[in-house]
Structure 1
Amino acid sequence: MILNRFQGWKEAWWPDKESAKELFQILVFSRIALIVAGWIGLARLPWKYYSPTFNVTTNPILLMWIRWDGLWYTGIAIHGYWFQALAFFPLYPLLTAILHWMTFLPVYVTALIVSNLGLIGFTISFYGLVRDLYGEDLAKRAVWIAIMFPTAFFMSAAYTEGLYMFLSTTVFWLAYRKKFWAAGIFGMLAALTRNEGAFTVIPILWSYYQSYGWTIKKSLWSVLLVPAGIVAFMIYQWRDFGSPLAFIAAQSYWGRQITWPWVGIFLAIKTIWHGSPLQPSTILSMIDLCAALIFMILWIFAWRRKFPVDWLAYWGILLLIDISAPDIHGRSPLLSMSRLVLILFPGFVMLGILAKHESWNRFFQWLLPMLQVTFFLIFATWHWIA
């Protein structure tokens, strides 16, 4: 029975042989291109910048992926939590530590294994989700755009993006197929990976309402699994740090403040207006502001094209939250927005719809890989990008 169920899931989820080959090629060649670009940046370019204090290895192929937040996640996997680290949710470092314990590989290696397994899982789940709703052609375009997006290299770095995108898109796919309890479990794991995972209750609730209306059935309780992950993390903080909301207080370490959504956009425009064109804060503010505005415009297009209600709600709420928590006194008020929009997967579907037109398709094929390699070079050489 279990084997039959697994076979049924595989047939429903797994792409056909030709599509699987195409997706595999996109993944492999895009990662090889990034590794080559990162190696050139670290070993050959004259403007490289090393940070010896934080370099975890002398191997450039490994080193290029362990940057910035990656040091926090691997640090948690090695040492456990300290107060400032509570801003980072536990599942990714926990999986990294478990894999390290099981394989005896260095933590920095297992962190990248977890990320890239998440990327592979995301490729399959995202393809299956879009294929079921919009067909195979759009699914392939959306996956290509997601993998080639300028900040998509974070899905292979020691960051949570790859794992979270796999878990969150799987929730939508399972909810779409009325697998409420399985969706609840994946939602709980998503909420243990990033705080945005709490909003994976949206597709579960929406799919339940479409199936049963206001009737209360046992499967409705599956939504409680999603916040259960955050509650467990809060209990841990209460026990070890004296407050169940310590993770919110820890966010102040990065200077973020909750404010009106237009404040961050206004401050970004102000920074760009008063800054020098080649000043890092000006360039970063332009990148982050463009990411925010593009995904806002894409949301409007998606709404006009009648995207699923749960997609629009999830996308809109997460985007609103990110815009409403700017780094008011930082180099870029909308700090990391070009990376934060990466988890808004319906945006890639909308871009895939645009790419159906030959002119947009050519534009994306040229622009996205070029920007991703450029951003990755900045990231790999210890400069800030997102």
Structure 2
Amino acid sequence: MNDLASTAAPGRTLCPPAVRAALRRAVPGLAAFAAVRLLGLVVLMAWSAAAGKDWHTLLTARWDSLWYTRVAEHGYGYTLHLANGAVHSDLAFFPLLPWLERGLSALTPLTAADAGMAVAWLSSLAAAWALYATGERLHGPRAGVALAALWAALPVGVVQSMAYSESLFTALAAWGCYAVLTGRWVWAGALASLAGLTRPVGAAVVAAVWITAAVTVANERAGGVRWRALLGGRHRRMLLGAALAPLGWCGYVLWVGARQGSPTAYLDVQGGWGNGFDGGLAFARFIGHQLAGPALPAGLGLLAGVALVIWLYVRGVRKGQPLPLAVYGGTVLFLALTAKGYFGSKPRLMMPAFPLLLPLAAGLARWRPARSWLVIALVAAGSAVYGAFWLNGSGPP
């Protein structure tokens, strides 16, 4: 694994000219991302029209988007009691997306639902920019373009266009990891805190900041740097960033605990939804059930998919993926695979784990452009068709 010192520079705040220059370099990556997502939307519109459904409703007013919109419009406090005994509380949904929906709908003619979709679309572009910047820094501009395009072309990439929180979270997480890579520790801490207000998996960004800071301090101590020196200069900014990182996640979980009168209230809320951590036992039983029944092909495909994502993670680490990306991607993957709940949502839960795509992006960057773009085009077409089929069928929970 690369030493962070080889990729990090002393923290500086980006000046506007530098931001403009970085954005100009990212234009090819943003264009590739937008083209893939536009293809997905066109196919969704055509499929929905043929099925007699409204594509706009599918993106803004179904599943989790309804819960986010309700929080945006009415605040927290809604609980749904199901016939099977399950208790679904809106406290399961972290507040940053509903806050943005409420603010944007107050400032524009958009409804809260449409504001959620607008936030998702803008956030997905911000995420694509961060992915381009990460790929460019580690493997060159072509890898940055490929990384942004591959993330857009994920099988569940259509979620990036929905009024869900995945795009917003990925943008904050990706820029937070990039801030760690470039030594901008205060920015990293602030972005990690915002990511922690967006999704429970915001803890992965906190882990990336904390573990990278701890390894940096340990390496410099091993090199003879005294504690007094570690408390000054950029190290002071690193400590401040580490202190900021958990505030969003911890703040919301503690607020839920205070509201419900129990320190384990958030875990109880998740339990009411059938979610929680069980070390992957429920998921393993689900795969075993698939393999033992008539759904054997689906079970084998699921097993192959799990093996693929684990292989991609190991491949990235062995190729020297920088520590913050390895920690972040590994934590997202671990939490997704070891959580119980609705198993059809696991691909969506793994979508923010963009570092898993870095080995593929680096490989495509070494190919001839025509060959690499043909592969991306085929993957994008498959993603568009699957996304349209998925949303017009069972769809994401």
Does residue 1:162 correspond to 2:139, yes or no? no
Residues 97 and 198 of structure 2 are in contact (CA less than 8 Å); yes or no, is this contact kept in structure 1?
A: yes
Whole-angstrom CA distance in 2 between matches of 1:257 and 1:156: 27
Judging changes above 3 Å, is the alpha-carbon distance between structure 1 residues 15 and 133 closer, same or farther for their aligned structure 2 residues?
farther
Identify the residue that residue 131 of structure 2 maps to in structure 1: 126
Identify the residue that residue 35 of structure 2 maps to in structure 1: 29
Does residue 1:62 correspond to 2:56, yes or no? yes
Residues 256 and 326 of structure 1 are in contact (CA less than 8 Å); yes or no, is this contact kept in structure 2?
A: yes
Identify the residue that residue 368 of structure 1 maps to in structure 2: 379
Whole-angstrom CA distance in 1 between matches of 2:304 and 2:66: 27
Show CA shifts across 1:284-334 (max 9, x none). Answer: x6665444321101112112212112222222222122211123xx6xxx3
Identify the residue that residue 352 of structure 1 maps to in structure 2: 361
Whole-angstrom CA distance in 2 between matches of 1:357 and 1:338: 28
Identify the residue that residue 258 of structure 1 maps to in structure 2: 277
1:226 to 230, 239, 245: 245
Identify the residue that residue 269 of structure 1 maps to in structure 2: 288
Does residue 1:6 correspond to 2:25, yes or no? no
Structure with the greater relative contact order (CA < 8 A, sep ≥ 6): 1 or 2?
A: 2
Identify the residue that residue 268 of structure 2 maps to in structure 1: 249
C-alpha deviation, 1:362, in angstroms = 7.0
Structure 2 gap segments, 5+ residues each: 1-12, 80-88, 222-226
Matched residue of 2:339: which SS? coil
C-alpha deviation, 1:346, in angstroms = 0.6
The more displaced of 334-343 and 29-38 is 29-38
TM-score (normalizing by structure 2): 0.81
Whole-angstrom CA distance in 2 between matches of 1:273 and 1:15: 53
Amino acid at match of 1:341: M
Judging changes above 3 Å, is the alpha-carbon distance between structure 1 residues 210 and 260 closer, same or farther for their aligned structure 2 residues?
closer
C-alpha deviation, 1:80, in angstroms = 1.4
Matched residue of 1:343: which SS? coil
Judging changes above 3 Å, is the alpha-carbon distance between structure 1 residues 72 and 188 closer, same or farther for their aligned structure 2 residues?
same
RMSD: 2.7
Identify the residue that residue 377 of structure 1 maps to in structure 2: 388
Structure 1 gap segments, 5+ residues each: 51-59
Whole-angstrom CA distance in 2 between matches of 1:289 and 1:73: 32
Aligned residues: 358
Question: Which residues of 2 match residues 22-171 of structure 1 at below 5 A?
Answer: 22-45=28-51, 60-66=54-60, 67-81=62-76, 82-83=78-79, 84-171=89-176
The more displaced of 338-347 and 196-205 is 196-205
Identical aligned residues as a percent: 21
Residues 143 and 348 of structure 1 are in contact (CA less than 8 Å); yes or no, is this contact kept in structure 2?
A: no
Residues 188 and 227 of structure 1 are in contact (CA less than 8 Å); yes or no, is this contact kept in structure 2?
A: yes
Identify the residue that residue 82 of structure 2 maps to in structure 1: none
TM-score (normalizing by structure 1): 0.83
Whole-angstrom CA distance in 2 between matches of 1:223 and 1:93: 26
1:322 to 336, 343, 353: 336
Whole-angstrom CA distance in 1 between matches of 2:166 and 2:289: 30
C-alpha deviation, 1:196, in angstroms = 1.3
Residues 326 and 335 of structure 1 are in contact (CA less than 8 Å); yes or no, is this contact kept in structure 2?
A: no
Identify the residue that residue 56 of structure 1 maps to in structure 2: none
